[in-house]
Amino acid sequence: MNAHHARGHQAPRQGPGITMLRQGGESVLCDGDGRPLYSLNATAAALWELCDGETTVDEIVEAVCLVCKVEREQARADLTRTLSDLSRSNLIEW
Amino acid sequence: MAAAPIRVLLAESDALLRAAFRAGLEDHGFDVVASVGRSDDAVLEVERQAPDVAVLSAELVPTDGARTCAGIKSVDLPVRVLVISEHPDQELLLAAVDAGADGYLDRSGPLEALASAIHRVYAGEACIPSEMLGVLLRRLIQRGRDEDSAVNRYSRLSRREKEVVALLASGMDNAAIAEKLVVSRHTVRTHVQNVLEKLEVRSRVEAANLAIDFNLVERFSGEP
């Protein structure tokens, strides 16, 4: 499913076998063999951790608004863009 | 023309630390318009000086940094608040975010980090330690779920049962509730039992705490 059209009630899930490795302030997603696939900034890493198949897009947007003090539309646009990138790289699924 | 320096209010109960921070911030080009050791003075000085940024120690006295932040945010001034803590933890961070803080920082870091954080919150950016962001988001999401659950359970109550919860939350015992509602104590006991069942709690204290924690009485007060 294209995350660009993600609905608020949808809950993204980390791709099977994908893990996140933190090294010196940087975060990297790796495949089952430990090969680095994708580099994440701090915010994207936090969002990745929320992709548990239960936490919805709406829930993430509300929390990001509160913490990052951005408007809901901005938070949703930024989140959708991040999830889109991860989805295209098969790092999350819906 | 050089930009005007950022006007900072500093609130730190430790006098030595306060003096050191003040000197360091002034060396970094900030205009420290007030430097106080108490939370009540911090709020007063915000009203008096209208700083751009208030830097509050989480360990402030008599009220802590998070509650002082709430007090400052209630003043009708566009002051950004940065809470700094010697012992950063999730509860302090959550309290600071709840109070409307614009940033949160471990004060044991270099002064350059504090200066950078002040610049960031002044620019309207949130400033949360990156290693705490995920945990904070998770806690806020869980709290949102808890709140939704509490609201759903509370909405099952009858009007009378909601009245009973309000009185429980105010600390009344069954005798006082009976007198207030002009009913028998037996009737009150029945209402209380129904309340406990519908709210899925085990005691009147739990019921009262649920109502208080999620502001349920006021939230539903306008309903018929």
- How many angstroms separate the CA of residue A46 from the nearest CA in chain B? 4
Q: Cite the DSSP H helix spans in B39-84.
A: 39-49, 65-73
- Tell me the two tokens of residue B210: 């649920």
Predicted confidence (pLDDT) per residue in A39-72, tens digit: 998 889 999 999 999 999 999 999 999 888 889 9
Band (A1; pLDDT cuts 50, 70, 90): very low
Average pLDDT across chain A, whole number = 88
Whether residue A7 has pLDDT greater than 80? no
Whether residue A2 has pLDDT greater than 70? no
Global pTM reads: 0.78
Is the bond leading into B88 cis (omega within 30 degrees of zero)? no
From the list A42, A45, A67, the residue facing B97 with the nearest CB is: A67
- Tell me the two tokens of residue A79: 């989140």
| β-strands B80-85, B103-106 pairing | parallel
**Whole-complex ipTM:** 0.87
Order across the sheet with B7-11: list the strands: B31-36, B7-11, B53-57, B80-85, B103-106
Which residues of chain B register pLDDT less than 70? 1-2, 222-224
Please tell me the distance from the alpha carbon of residue B100 to that of residue B82, in angstroms, as a whole number.
Answer: 10
- Residue B180 has what pLDDT? 96
A42, B136: Cβ pair inside 8 Å? no
Whether residue A5 has pLDDT greater than 80? no
Mean predicted confidence (pLDDT) in A8-18 = 93
- Residue B223 has what pLDDT? 64
Chain B segment 45-104 residues within 8 A of A by beta carbon are 97, 102
Please tell me the distance from the alpha carbon of residue B78 to that of residue B124, in angstroms, as a whole number.
Answer: 11
Contact status of B145 with chain A (Cβ, < 8 Å): yes
Which residue in B48, B54, B72 sits closest to B10, CA to CA?
Answer: B54
- Residue B34 has what pLDDT? 97
> CA-nearest residue of chain A to B143?
A63
A26 three-class SS: strand
- Residue B1 has what pLDDT? 62
Site of tokens 């999730």: B90
The H or E element containing residue B144 is helix B130-154
What count of CB pairs under 8 Å joins A to B? 48
B210, burial (CB in 10 Å: exposed 0-12, middle 13-18, buried 19+): buried
